């Protein structure tokens, strides 16, 4: 009886506490879903995207003199940064560390350079063969899959400071999938190399990173190996396509219907992943995976519509603000040295995020690779402006830097394998279409 009386007396406090808890739950959900650019609730499902009309592609079928000059600058990066003993490339100019992602970029760069006649078939095959030899020699994490990072000079597993590590860091399913996409491109360009390409990865346990149609990566945390589902909308679908080429069932990773909502940004319906990124922050939307998809594979019906919306939102931001906008993930030439410049990220449009999810909007970069990539795909007057803006930043002795900081117009002077590879892929696309098409 006393308990009942006390509950009755405390009912006001109980209602208040329950109200606070309920409110916190709602706020948490809204923070994860994020408001739309117009303050509207997110729209679901993806029907708006399925009904949209994509932009037409702009394959030119030839290279201009300027295109070839730009491609030669990009290839200079690889001439400077490919290790002569291993055939692998530094991820950043002069820094002898690499990942499977950059190794995929290197392969793409070689195939693109050959298409643009910057190198001949003999050089291309020699460089590809050196990479395959090194892939076959890599020490694998738990004797299963490539470690997240390697020293380009020794092929030793390293940590992110390029220090040797016996245990390793784990594996990235997205990085390995990016490499598998590049190997498929190399096989299409040089079918006679198919046996060597297959042999280079024969010992890899690719099945460990594919489970129930999804991708799984592994990380070492306090000396414990933890495996988690990896990939968010856009990167996940690109990686799924890559693994399909190796015969894996990737149906869950390829179909975003269960993990996507629509966020209106600048009048465009932008699909956004509802899952948190790395368990900490709302997922983000950048240009790069859509550029890879179009330039390497050729868009499918869905990705062409999403890519169009992602591009048009950036054009609309320029039209509204006057700021040339071509955003994606980029290295930075100062701390924290890496950022995601997003169309939507961390619950808001146009946020710039660190790896940990902190906002650093002052480091928004007009990205060189996004400028060349969107121009190759769509060839609009706006994309021509983007390329024109970044051209003066080129360093003919070192390659293309990451781009231009929006806040003050200075150059983001970091020079990387990924940017220079994407410039080459874009210019090869202008001349001959998607790289996976095979030899022109």
Of the two residues 304 and 42, the one the predictor is more confident about is: 304
pLDDT beyond 70 at 23: no
Give 275's pLDDT tier (boundaries 50, 70, 90).
confident
DSSP-based three-state secondary structure for 241: helix
pLDDT at residue number 52: 87
pLDDT beyond 80 at 3: no
What value does the mean pLDDT of the chain take?
A: 89
Distance CA 253, CA 260 (A): 12
pLDDT at residue number 37: 40
Mean pLDDT across the stretch 87-100?
98
Mean pLDDT across the stretch 243-251?
93
pLDDT beyond 90 at 26: no
Query: What are phi and psi for residue 386, nearest 5 degrees?
Result: -60, -50
pLDDT in tens, 100-135: 999 999 999 999 999 999 999 999 999 999 999 999
Residue tagged 């449009």 (tokens): 349
pLDDT at residue number 435: 97
Q: Tell me what percent of the residues of the chain surpass a pLDDT of 70.
A: 88
pLDDT at residue number 401: 98
Q: Which of 316, 399, 337, 188 is nearest to 327 (CA)?
A: 316
User: What value, to the nearest 5°, has the Cα angle with vertex 297 and ends 293 and 299?
Assistant: 60
pLDDT beyond 60 at 13: no
pLDDT at residue number 279: 58
Query: What are phi and psi for residue 263, nearest 5 degrees?
Result: -115, 120
Whether 333 and 414 have beta carbons less than 8 Å apart is answered as yes
pLDDT in tens, 362-373: 999 999 999 999
DSSP-based three-state secondary structure for 164: strand
pLDDT beyond 50 at 334: yes
If you count them, how many residues does the chain have?
440
Query: What are phi and psi for residue 340, nearest 5 degrees?
Result: -105, 105
pLDDT in tens, 378-387: 999 999 999 9
Domains of the chain: 2-27+39-437 (1.50.10.140)
Of the two residues 106 and 31, the one the predictor is more confident about is: 106
Q: Which two tokens stand for residue 374?
A: 């969107």
Q: How far is CA 172 from CA 198, 230, 233, in A?
A: 20, 8, 16
Distance CA 268, CA 309 (A): 6
pLDDT at residue number 256: 82
pLDDT at residue number 47: 78
pLDDT at residue number 48: 75
pLDDT at residue number 12: 41
pLDDT beyond 80 at 2: no
């Amino acid at each position: 009886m006393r308990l009942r009386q006390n509950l009755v007396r405390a009912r006001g406090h109980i209602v208040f506490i329950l109200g606070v808890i309920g409110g916190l739950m709602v706020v948490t959900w809204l923070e994860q879903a994020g408001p739309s650019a117009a303050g509207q609730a997110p729209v679901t499902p993806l029907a708006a995207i399925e009904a949209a009309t994509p932009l037409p592609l702009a394959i030119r079928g030839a290279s201009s003199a300027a295109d070839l000059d730009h491609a030669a600058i990009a290839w200079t990066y690889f001439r400077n940064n490919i290790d002569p003993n291993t055939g692998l490339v530094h991820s950043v100019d002069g820094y002898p560390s690499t990942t499977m992602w950059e190794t995929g970029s290197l392969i793409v760069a070689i195939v693109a350079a050959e298409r643009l006649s910057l190198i001949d078939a003999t050089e291309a095959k020699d460089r590809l063969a050196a990479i395959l030899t090194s892939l076959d020699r890599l020490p694998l994490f738990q004797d299963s899959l490539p470690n997240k990072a390697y020293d380009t000079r020794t092929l030793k597993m390293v940590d992110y400071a390029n220090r040797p590590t016996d245990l390793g860091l784990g594996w990235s399913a997205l990085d390995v999938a990016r490499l598998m996409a590049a190997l498929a491109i190399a096989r299409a360009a040089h079918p006679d190399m198919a046996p060597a390409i297959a042999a280079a990865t024969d010992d890899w346990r690719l099945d460990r990173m594919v489970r129930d149609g999804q991708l799984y990566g592994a990380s070492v945390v306090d000396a414990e190996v933890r495996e988690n589902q990896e990939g968010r909308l856009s990167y996940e679908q690109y990686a799924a396509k890559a693994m399909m080429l190796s015969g894996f069932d990737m149906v869950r990773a390829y179909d975003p219907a269960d993990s996507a909502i629509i966020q209106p940004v600048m009048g465009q319906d932008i699909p956004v992943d509802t899952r948190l990124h790395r368990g900490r922050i709302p997922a983000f939307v950048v240009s790069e995976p859509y550029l890879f998809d179009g330039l390497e594979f050729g868009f499918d019906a869905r990705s062409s519509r999403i890519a169009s919306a992602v591009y048009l939102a950036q054009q609309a931001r320029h039209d509204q603000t006057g700021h040339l906008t071509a955003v994606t993930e980029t290295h930075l030439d100062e701390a924290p040295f890496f950022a995601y410049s997003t169309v939507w990220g961390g619950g808001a449009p146009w946020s710039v995020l660190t790896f940990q999810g902190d906002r650093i909007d002052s480091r928004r970069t007009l990205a060189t690779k996004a400028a060349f990539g969107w121009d190759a795909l769509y060839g609009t007057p706006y994309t021509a402006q983007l390329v024109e803006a970044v051209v003066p930043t080129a360093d003919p002795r070192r390659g293309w830097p990451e781009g231009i900081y929006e806040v003050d117009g200075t150059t983001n002077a970091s020079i990387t394998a990924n940017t220079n590879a994407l410039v080459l892929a874009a210019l090869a696309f202008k001349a001959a279409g998607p790289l996976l098409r095979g030899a022109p």
